[in-house]
């Protein structure tokens, strides 16, 4: 898989890129069936429902799964998939290291996840992570597709605040100016959304009665990084060999929006506390 110059420019300028049809429908069906079988079979380490579960929460039946590659061979093979490795190397400009695998089931009626930045959770130093987000179902605004803030990857890590628990299963979000564009990313099954770890993103609830919005996600960091959170170690090189880096501490300086001459500008003047949840 070779990305075009236009695709590389899009990722550099906007902080995200959708590669259409990177995986076939037959491949997607196999992944979807595999993870639905795993989900029906029981519970696993790192399963996560919500910061604040609610009565009748559909995520109680379909909690997201994290770090499946540590015990599930199909997850490990997908995380190290050569097509992903080629795209990531082009987007990062260096060898990627795999740090995390995740599956979101997002059944009908499930809450979304408030806007956030992955760097807040992984705390990569130097640099940041890149996510590869494979749509296992068609994703649109009705079933809670991903939403992104274009070009927000040029911002620092923003200061966290409380999210609305009626629409978000996580209790943390970031503040945006009232006129800031938040763009839906409509995807078909097999499409992969790559995005920078500083890009502000999230999703709204699944408002359908009969459609899942399942997704398979990998998070990667550049081989030039020297720190990442202990939760995401050991890392994997794309040939499958393990390695460890210095464990990064949570928290640190964060950006806040301030009024200056009638305009909202970012100023790094706050300090983030340790996050309570991991990311989408």
- The helix-helix angle for 82-92 and 5-14 (nearest 10°) equals 60
Domain presence at residue 162: yes
Domain presence at residue 66: yes
pTM: 0.96
Domain presence at residue 279: no
Domain presence at residue 30: yes
Average pLDDT, the chain: 95
User: Is the per-residue pLDDT at 275 higher than 90?
Assistant: no
Phi, psi of 192 (to 5 degrees): -125, 125
How many separate domains does the chain show? Answer: 1
Confidence (pLDDT) at 250? 85
Confidence (pLDDT) at 177? 93
Confidence (pLDDT) at 168? 95
Contact 101, 75 (CB under 8 A): yes
Confidence (pLDDT) at 277? 52
Domain presence at residue 71: yes
Q: What percent of the chain has pLDDT over 90?
A: 88
Those residues whose C-beta lies under 8 Å from the C-beta of residue 258, and which sit 6 or more positions away, are 264, 265, 266, 267, 269
Confidence (pLDDT) at 204? 98
Peptide bond into 170 cis (omega under 30): no
Q: Whole-angstrom Cα distance, residue 203 to residue 190?
A: 19
Measure the N-to-C terminal CA separation of the chain; round to a whole number of Å.
25
Residue ranges making up the domain that contains 30: 5-272
Buried b (16+ CB within 10 A) or exposed e, 188-223: ebbbbbbbbbbbbbbbbbbeeeebbbbbbbbbbbbb
User: What is the arithmetic mean of pLDDT over 23-43?
Assistant: 97
Give me 174's structure tokens. 């970031």
Domain presence at residue 278: no
User: Is the per-residue pLDDT at 134 higher than 90?
Assistant: yes
User: Is the per-residue pLDDT at 147 higher than 70?
Assistant: yes
Give me 16's structure tokens. 């995200």
Domain of residue 33, CATH code: 2.60.120.620
Domain presence at residue 138: yes
Q: How many residues would you count in the chain?
A: 280
Domain presence at residue 181: yes
Confidence (pLDDT) at 261? 85
């Amino acid at each position: 898989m070779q990305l075009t110059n236009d695709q590389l420019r899009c990722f550099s300028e906007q902080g995200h890129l959708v590669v259409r049809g990177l995986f076939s429908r037959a491949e997607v069906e196999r992944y979807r069936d595999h993870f639905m079988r795993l989900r029906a079979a029981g519970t696993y380490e790192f399963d996560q429902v919500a910061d604040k579960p609610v009565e009748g929460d559909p995520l109680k039946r379909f909690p997201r799964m994290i770090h499946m590659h540590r015990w599930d061979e199909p997850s490990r093979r997908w995380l190290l998939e050569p097509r992903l490795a080629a795209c990531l190397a082009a987007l990062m400009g260096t060898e990627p290291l795999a740090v995390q695998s995740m599956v979101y089931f997002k059944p009908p009626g499930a809450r979304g996840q408030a806007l956030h930045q992955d760097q807040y959770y992984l705390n990569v130093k130097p640099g940041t992570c890149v996510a590869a987000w494979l749509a296992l179902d068609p994703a649109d605004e009705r079933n809670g597709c991903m939403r992104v803030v274009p070009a927000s990857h040029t911002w620092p890590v923003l200061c966290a605040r409380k999210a609305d628990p009626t629409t978000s299963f996580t209790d943390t979000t970031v503040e945006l100016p009232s006129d800031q564009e938040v763009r839906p990313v409509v995807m078909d099954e097999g499409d992969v959304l790559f995005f920078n770890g500083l890009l502000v993103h999230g999703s709204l609830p699944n408002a359908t009665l009969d459609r899942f919005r399942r997704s398979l996600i990998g998070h990667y960091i550049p081989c030039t990084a020297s720190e990442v959170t202990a939760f995401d170690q050991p890392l994997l090189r794309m040939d499958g060999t393990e390695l460890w880096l210095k464990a990064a501490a949570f928290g640190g300086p964060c950006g806040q929006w301030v009024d200056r001459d009638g305009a909202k500008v970012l100023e790094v003047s706050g300090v983030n506390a340790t996050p309570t949840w991991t990311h989408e």
